[in-house]
C-alpha cells in the first residue's frame, strides 16, 4: 500500500525513535514513502531528509531565540510544502516547540497528525496539554506516568514504552564489553564514562566542566580511564578544544564516535548530561551522576516553571531522588568529581541505583516500535478496516508500579 508519511525529528533521540517506527511501518507498508526532517538513522531506513536534523538540535530558551529566524523559515517552508502535497499522515517526533504548531496547521487542513513523545507536562508547562489536544489527533507516550495526564483533554493516548528497553538486554556484561573495546586492566581498572551531550550547544556549556572533572578524578584514581562518546564530529571538536584549553591532552581518555552504549557498559560509574542518555545509562544498569548546564536565563525560566524537584528521567520515573543531580552553578568540577568518586567507592549506593533501574527496564519494555506502528495504522483507519492486522498481541503487558519512596522506607 503506497502511503506518504511525513515526519520531523529534531535531535538524536528523536532520530532513534523514528528509525524504529519507520522500520516497523515498512514491514507492513513496504511501498510507503517517508520524508521531512530527520537524522542519519532515519535516512538509513530510506527516509528522504529535506533538511538536516542538526538545524533543529538546539536546547534552551536563549539558544532557540538565537536560531529563531532560521528555524522559523524552515518550519514555514516545510508547512507550505506539506500543504501543497499533503501526506497521508504527519508524525512529529518530540521537538514540541517546532512540531506542535506545524501539527495544528496540518490538522486544520484535514491531515491526520500524531505526536510521538509526550512533552514533559509532568515536569513543567502543564497548560501544553490543551495545546497538544488542538494539534495532534493522537499522542504516543513513552512512559506510563503520562496517559493519565491527558485523561480530560480528549486526545487518544497510547503508552508504547521505549524502544531502548526492547533493545537493551536485562544484563550487560561489563568485563566482556571491556574486552571488546580492548581496554587493559580487566575488571579492576576504574573506568568512568563521560557523556557531555549530543548537541553542540550542550558541549559549549559542558565540555570544560567535564574535562576539569576528569582531571580531578584522575588525580584521586591514577589508574582510571575515561571513555567519551560523541554523536558528531562537531561535538568531538568542541571537547578536544576543552582538552587543550585545560592542558589535559595526556589524560587516559578514549574518545569514541558513537558507541555510547559500549562506553556506558564498560564503565563502573558514569557522568551524564541530563537527557535521554540518563535513561540509556539506567537501562544498561550503570550507576551515574547527572549534571547539566545551560544559559543562565534558560535555567532560571525552566526552574521557575518546573513542578518537580528532580530533573533526570530515572528520578522522574522512580518518583524520588535515586541518583544525584548536580545542575548549573552547583556543577563545579570539585562537586562533580567528589560525587563520582563517592559513588565509585560505595558498592551499596551503586546497588541501590541498579535495583531501581531494573524496575524501570521492566516497566518500559513494551515492544515499542510495533505498538507505535499499530497506533499509526489505527489512526489511518487501516487496522479497523481489516486491511492490516496488528503485530502486537492483543493482551496488554502488565504494568508493574515502580518503587516509590514509601516502598523504600
The DSSP-derived string for 277-298 is: HHHHHHHTT--EEEEE---HHH
Mean pLDDT highest for which of 195-204, 213-222, 231-240, 395-404? 213-222
Q: Give the mean model confidence (pLDDT) for residues 378-394.
A: 65
- Output the nine-digit C-alpha cell for 142: 513513552
CA pair distance 279, 315, nearest whole angstrom = 10
Percent of the chain scored above 70 by pLDDT? 85
CA 204 to chain centre: 19
User: How much is the pTM?
Assistant: 0.79
Task: Look at residue 57 in the predicted model and tell me its pLDDT.
Answer: 59
Task: Look at residue 404 in the predicted model and tell me its pLDDT.
Answer: 33
Task: Look at residue 300 in the predicted model and tell me its pLDDT.
Answer: 66
Task: Look at residue 53 in the predicted model and tell me its pLDDT.
Answer: 85
Cα angle, residue 57 at apex, residues 17 and 95 outer, rounded to 5°: 55
Q: Measuring CA to CA, how many Å separate 308 from each of 70, 245, 252, 329?
A: 33, 36, 38, 19
Task: Look at residue 197 in the predicted model and tell me its pLDDT.
Answer: 86
Q: Is the pLDDT of residue 407 over 60?
A: no
Report the helix count and the strand count for the chain, using DSSP H and E: 18, 13
Beta bridge mates, 192? 226, 269
Q: How confident is the model at residue 301 (pLDDT cuts 50, 70, 90)?
A: low
Q: How confident is the model at residue 70 (pLDDT cuts 50, 70, 90)?
A: confident
Residue 214 and residue 252 in contact, taking contact as beta carbons nearer than 8 Å: no
Handedness of CA 77, 87, 146, 273 (dihedral sign): negative
SS3 71: helix
Residue 313 and residue 278 in contact, taking contact as beta carbons nearer than 8 Å: yes
Of 246, 242, 286, the C-alpha closest to 264 is 286
Of 362, 366, 293, 279, the C-alpha closest to 323 is 279
Task: Look at residue 60 in the predicted model and tell me its pLDDT.
Answer: 46
Q: How confident is the model at residue 276 (pLDDT cuts 50, 70, 90)?
A: confident
For the ranges 155-159, 261-265, 401-405, which has the lowest average pLDDT? 401-405
Q: Give the mean model confidence (pLDDT) for residues 11-36.
A: 93
- Output the nine-digit C-alpha cell for 64: 532557540
Q: Is the pLDDT of residue 122 over 80?
A: no
Task: Look at residue 82 in the predicted model and tell me its pLDDT.
Answer: 97
Residue 127 and residue 149 in contact, taking contact as beta carbons nearer than 8 Å: no
Higher pLDDT: 353 or 302? It is 353
SS3 38: strand
Q: Give the mean model confidence (pLDDT) for residues 30-51.
A: 95
Q: How confident is the model at residue 142 (pLDDT cuts 50, 70, 90)?
A: very high
DSSP-assigned states of every residue in 127-140: THHHHHHHH-SEEE
Q: Measuring CA to CA, how many Å separate 64 from each of 59, 97, 98?
A: 7, 10, 10
DSSP 397: P
Task: Look at residue 402 in the predicted model and tell me its pLDDT.
Answer: 38
Task: Look at residue 56 in the predicted model and tell me its pLDDT.
Answer: 76
Q: Give the mean model confidence (pLDDT) for residues 64-76.
A: 77
Instruction: Give the β-pairing of 191-195 and 138-141.
Output: unpaired
Higher pLDDT: 279 or 402? It is 279
CA pair distance 197, 331, nearest whole angstrom = 15
Amino acid at each position: 500500500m503506497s502511503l506518504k508519511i511525513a515526519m520531523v525529528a529534531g535531535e538524536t533521540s528523536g532520530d532513534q525513535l523514528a528509525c524504529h517506527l519507520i522500520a516497523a511501518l515498512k514491514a507492513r507498508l513496504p511501498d510507503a514513502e517517508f520524508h521531512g526532517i530527520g537524522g542519519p538513522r532515519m535516512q538509513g531506513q530510506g527516509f528522504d531528509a529535506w533538511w538536516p536534523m542538526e538545524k533543529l538540535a538546539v536546547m534552551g530558551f536563549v539558544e532557540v531565540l538565537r536560531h529563531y529566524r532560521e528555524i522559523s523559515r524552515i518550519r514555514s517552508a516545510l508547512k507550505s510544502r506539506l500543504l501543497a502535497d499533503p501526506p497521508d499522515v504527519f508524525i512529529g517526533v518530540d521537538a514540541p516547540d517546532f512540531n506542535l504548531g506545524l501539527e495544528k496547521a496540518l490538522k486544520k487542513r484535514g491531515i491526520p497528525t500524531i505526536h510521538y513523545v509526550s512533552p514533559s507536562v509532568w515536569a513543567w508547562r502543564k497548560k501544553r496539554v490543551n495545546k497538544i489536544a488542538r494539534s495532534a489527533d493522537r499522542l504516543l507516550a513513552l512512559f506510563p506516568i503520562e496517559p493519565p495526564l491527558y485523561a480530560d483533554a480528549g486526545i487518544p493516548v497510547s503508552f508504547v514504552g521505549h524502544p531502548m528497553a526492547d533493545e537493551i538486554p536485562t544484563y550487560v556484561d561489563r568485563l566482556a564489553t571491556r574486552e571488546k573495546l580492548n581496554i587493559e586492566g580487566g575488571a579492576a581498572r576504574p573506568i568512568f564514562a563521560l557523556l557531555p551531550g549530543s548537541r553542540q550547544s550542550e558541549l559549549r556549556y559542558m565540555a570544560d566542566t567535564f574535562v576539569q572533572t576528569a582531571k580531578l578524578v584522575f588525580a584521586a584514581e591514577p589508574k582510571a580511564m575515561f571513555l567519551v562518546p560523541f554523536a558528531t564530529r562537531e561535538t568531538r571538536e568542541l571537547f578536544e578544544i576543552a582538552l587543550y584549553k585545560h592542558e589535559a591532552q595526556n589524560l587516559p581518555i578514549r574518545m569514541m564516535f558513537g558507541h555510547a552504549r559500549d562506553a556506558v557498559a564498560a564503565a563502573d560509574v558514569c557522568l551524564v548530561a541530563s537527557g535521554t542518555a540518563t535513561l540509556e545509562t539506567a537501562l544498561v544498569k550503570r550507576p551515574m551522576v547527572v549534571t547539566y548546564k545551560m544559559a543562565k536565563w534558560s535555567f532560571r525560566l525552566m526552574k521557575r516553571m518546573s513542578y518537580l524537584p528532580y530533573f533526570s528521567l530515572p528520578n522522574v520515573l522512580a518518583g524520588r531522588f535515586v541518583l544525584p543531580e548536580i545542575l548549573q552553578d552547583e556543577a563545579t568540577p570539585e562537586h562533580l568529581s567528589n560525587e563520582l568518586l563517592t559513588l565509585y567507592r560505595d558498592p551499596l549506593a551503586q546497588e541501590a541505583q541498579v535495583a531501581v533501574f531494573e524496575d524501570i527496564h521492566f516497566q518500559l519494555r513494551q515492544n515499542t516500535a510495533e505498538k507505535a506502528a499499530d497506533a499509526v495504522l489505527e489512526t489511518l483507519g487501516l487496522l479497523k478496516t481489516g486491511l492490516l492486522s496488528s503485530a502486537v498481541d492483543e493482551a496488554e503487558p502488565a504494568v508493574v508500579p515502580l518503587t516509590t519512596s514509601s516502598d523504600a522506607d
